[in-house]
Amino acid sequence: MIQSKQDVIQWLEENRQPFIAIADAIWANPETAWQEFKASKMQADFLQAEGFCITWDIAEINTAFIAEWGKGRPIIGFIGEYDALAGLSQKNQPTQEPVVPGGPGHGCGHNLLGTGGMAAAVAIKRWLEANAIPGTVRYYGCPAEERTSGKTFMARAGAFDDLDAAFNYHPDSLNMPDKGSAVGVYDLTFRFHGTSAHAGGSPHKGRSALDAVELMNVGVNYMREHITEKVRMHYAITHGGDVPNIVPAEAEVWYF
């Protein structure tokens, strides 16, 4: 019988192995933004077995879901994530050694983050159920946190509108409650189109899309002295051509 806060803690201690297994499985199968098919299904299947109703395709995102149990208020949400980071493949050890060189990995601990939120949702559901207390528990499976986009589309679709409270958890070096805010983010991709040409034989016939990307970046860097201190501008050139001896007709830069 789960009645007190200590009972909830004890239940989590006694039932932590299934959650550890899920976190380990997500670690072993890292999936980057928008590709979290195994992780999302693994969590949804577990929550469904625990009595939660599953709704998929939140905001038309096929790796986003909501698991809900109970009725009435308060409506309490637990916000989970499960996407990995590109290029951070890592064996389960303290020294750096990739499983797959250049492959993705959970360098930000989202295998723990989502599973921890899911465990909290199940524990609160059990407490409400045991004490016949009204309330609704939701777990939100949120994709693409590392691309800063998943929750944006879900919020735009109204997924969080009726919540009375929402909780998130993130792995860190210590346990503590926290609240605060962060700067907003625009996720923008700029694509430039030019004219290809042989760079050695007829460079004058080309119009380099990569030049356009580089000129844009130079202009942005000149802007830095004219923006407020809270503004950040970061970019990565995601495509700059194929080989040096061809003037690139296509180029792309990704900005936050």
Q: 172 or 49, which is more confident?
A: 49
Whether the pLDDT of residue 154 is over 90: the answer is: yes
List, for residues 18-55, the tens digit of each pLDDT value: 999 999 999 999 999 999 999 999 999 999 999 999 99
Least confident of 70-74, 93-97, 154-158, 203-207: 93-97
For residues 127-155, give the mean pLDDT. 92
> Is 182 domain-assigned?
no
Torsion angles phi and psi, residue 87, rounded to 5: 80, 10
CB atoms within 10 A of CB 245: 11
| 59-97 core/surface letters (b: 16 or more CB in 10 A; e: else) | bebebbbbbbbbeeeebbbbbbbbbbbeebbbeeeeeee
1: pLDDT strictly greater than 90:
no
Q: What are phi and psi of 62, to 5 degrees?
A: -80, -5
Q: What is the mean pLDDT of the chain?
A: 94
pLDDT of residue 4: 82
Flag whether pLDDT at 183 surpasses 90: no
What range defines the domain where residue 227 resides? 188-255
Residue 177 lies in a domain: no
Residue 70 has pLDDT above 80, yes or no: yes
Measure CA 52 to chain center: 22
Residue 177: what pLDDT?
Answer: 85
Q: Is residue 75 part of a domain?
A: yes
pLDDT attached to residue 179: 80
Domain count, the chain: 2
Mean pLDDT of 110-136: 94
pLDDT-above-90 percentage for the chain = 82
Indicate which CATH number applies to the domain containing 61. 3.40.630.10
Q: Is 230 exposed, middle or buried (0-12, 13-18, 19+ CB in 10 A)?
A: exposed
Query: Could you tell me if 161 and 198 lie in one domain?
Result: no
The sheet carrying 75-81 orders its strands as 53-56, 65-71, 135-142, 75-81, 165-168
Q: What is the CATH number of the domain that holds 247?
A: 3.30.70.360
123 and 195 share one domain: no
My answer on whether 193 and 153 are in the same domain is no
| pTM higher than 0.75 | yes
Categorize the per-residue pLDDT at 105 as very low, low, confident or very high, splitting at 50, 70 and 90. very high
- 180 found inside a domain: no
Q: Which residues, in sequence order, are CB contacts of 116 under 8 Å at separation 6+?
A: 19, 23, 80, 169
- Of 139, 168, 197, the position where a domain reaches its end is 168
